[in-house]
Amino acid sequence: MVPPAAFPMFVSVEDARAHLHALLPTRPHETLPLQAALGRTLAESVTARVSHPGADNSALDGIACREADTRAATLETPVRLRVVGESRAGAAHAGTVGPGECVRIYTGATLPAGAEAICPVEQLADDGPHHVLLRRPARKEDVRRAGEDFQLGQTVLMAGARLTPSRLALAAAAGHAELPVWRPWRVGLLSTGDEVVAPGQPLQAGQVYDSNSAGLHALLHQDGCEVLPLGRAPDSPEALAAALEGTGGVDLLVSSGGVSMGRYDFLRDLLIERGQVSFWKIRMRPGGPALLGTWNGLPVLGLPGNPVSSLVVYSVVARPVLTGAPLRTVRLRAGNAFRSLPDRAAYWRGVVGQGAEGGVVRDVGAQGSAMLRALSHADALVAVPEGGSVNAGDEVEVILL
């Protein structure tokens, strides 16, 4: 075996992310219509092709008029204006609104020249066919100003943004029918271990169901990756080497198990002896014994076998690299004490709730690295830096899951 000094050991979480980032290949762009781009990552920034709104327009159904004409209007002493036309969405009033005049206007219709205020229909009464009575003054605030949302030429979405429903709506409003996005990461997913069995099969003594494939597949999918499930490989160097060879052109292989300190952790030996290792072990709990390396140029992220560890290491280390976006974090009051070891950052499984003084995070109880039921109750990871100690009532950094 190559001496351990040949590659970094016990790297920080930040360094682990940087190593993974460095191993990933560059991906091509593709251009997709908006309806196919949900969840994708923008490859280039998006510039507005129009201003939004394109012109001053009405936020309400009502009348448009000169504000000064209407200041005295009350329920008891309504102001009377002459109706000189109509402005509707898509068909603006062509003329000018003079003193004592108004036009009927509908939501989204362009404000006619001369008018600068709106009185809503609820505050109007007709007074014969050609006049209206206003029960309160017209308001300039009910005019939506040209370009108040965004202006022609303005950058409205930055490269690297994940395309959410509201961002797709924004791109459409800015005049884009299609967007340049990165091709998704193609990720092979492998579970290892003689004892690991697909759920649904009968279970013999000493076997466990493969929960890592289910959890990791879902996480990868949620993060916009295309997942190639590679099933399970037993603890044999030949079988593992064959699995590493059969990944069919993925960008990254994510595996679980077989990279710890045990005699049968052959994936570790294979990568150390016949591949290349970027690091082995991360200074974090849960999940220390992760390994990152390459096999004939294929990046391999070897996650720990323990079910909680594999999902937490993925979430803390791989997720921000694969999505290109920082983890969503908030600072909240700790509902109980949280600690970490001197040389390990801790990621406590927590649940966010409401305390007397606002948001509070508590641990979910059982923190063992095989306690999946406790993990399933967690909606957050409480991040305690190496050698950190947080008392109940202190503020703590929380990663939202």
Q: Based on CB atoms, which residue is closest to ligand AMP, 38 or 208? A: 208
Q: Is 304 in the site for Mg ion (CB under 5 A)?
A: no
Q: Is 70 in the site for ligand AMP (CB under 6 A)?
A: no
Residue 182 has a CB neighbour count (10 Å cut-off) of: 18
Q: Is 78 in the site for Mg ion (CB under 5 A)?
A: no
Q: Which stretch binds ligand AMP (CB under 6 A): 58-66, 193-201, 347-355, 383-391?
A: 193-201
Q: Is 257 in the site for ligand AMP (CB under 6 A)?
A: yes
Q: Which of 37, 134, 181, 210 binds ligand AMP (CB under 6 A)?
A: 210
Give the list of residues 6+ apart from residue 271 with CB closer than 8 angstroms, or none. 259, 277, 291, 293, 294, 295, 300, 302
At residue 340's C-alpha, the angle toward residues 336 and 344, to 5°, is 155
Q: What is the largest CA-CA distance in the chain?
A: 97
Q: What is the smallest separation between the CB atom of 233 and ligand AMP, expressed in angstroms?
A: 10
Q: What is the smallest separation between the CB atom of 22 and ligand AMP, expressed in angstroms?
A: 25
Q: Which stretch binds ligand AMP (CB under 6 A): 21-29, 271-279, 303-311, 355-363?
A: 303-311
Select the residue whose beta carbon is closest to ligand AMP and give its number: 305
Q: How far apart are CA 92 and CA 67, in angstroms?
A: 19
Q: Based on CB atoms, which residue is closest to Mg ion, 33 or 262? A: 262
Among positions 213-232, residues that touch ligand AMP (CB under 6 A) are 213
The single residue listed with the structure tokens 């052109």 is 249
Q: How far apart are CA 334 and CA 392, in angstroms?
A: 5
Count residues near ligand AMP (CB under 6 A): 19
User: 350 and 397 in contact (C-beta within 8 Å)?
Assistant: no
Q: What is the smallest separation between the CB atom of 341 and Mg ion, expressed in angstroms?
A: 24
One-letter identity of residue 290: A
Q: Is 137 in the site for Mg ion (CB under 5 A)?
A: no
Q: Is 109 in the site for ligand AMP (CB under 6 A)?
A: no
Count residues near Mg ion (CB under 5 A): 4
Q: What is the smallest separation between the CB atom of 232 and Mg ion, expressed in angstroms?
A: 11
Q: Which stretch binds ligand AMP (CB under 6 A): 75-83, 144-152, 258-266, 353-361?
A: 258-266
Nearest to 302 by CA among 194, 212, 199, 184: 212
User: 348 and 381 in contact (C-beta within 8 Å)?
Assistant: yes
Q: How far apart are CA 155 and CA 363, in angstroms?
A: 41
Length in residues, the chain: 401
Q: Is 208 in the site for ligand AMP (CB under 6 A)?
A: yes
Q: Which of 25, 33, 246, 262 binds ligand AMP (CB under 6 A)?
A: 262
Q: Which of 78, 137, 293, 305 binds ligand AMP (CB under 6 A)?
A: 305
Site string for Mg ion, 177-206 (x = CB under 5 A): ----------------x-------------
Q: How far apart are CA 309 and CA 302, in angstroms?
A: 12
Q: Is 307 in the site for ligand AMP (CB under 6 A)?
A: yes
Q: Which of 149, 195, 379, 386 binds ligand AMP (CB under 6 A)?
A: 195
Q: Is 305 in the site for Mg ion (CB under 5 A)?
A: yes
Binding stretches for ligand AMP (CB under 6 A)? 191, 193, 195-196, 208, 210-213, 256-258, 260, 262, 265, 304-307
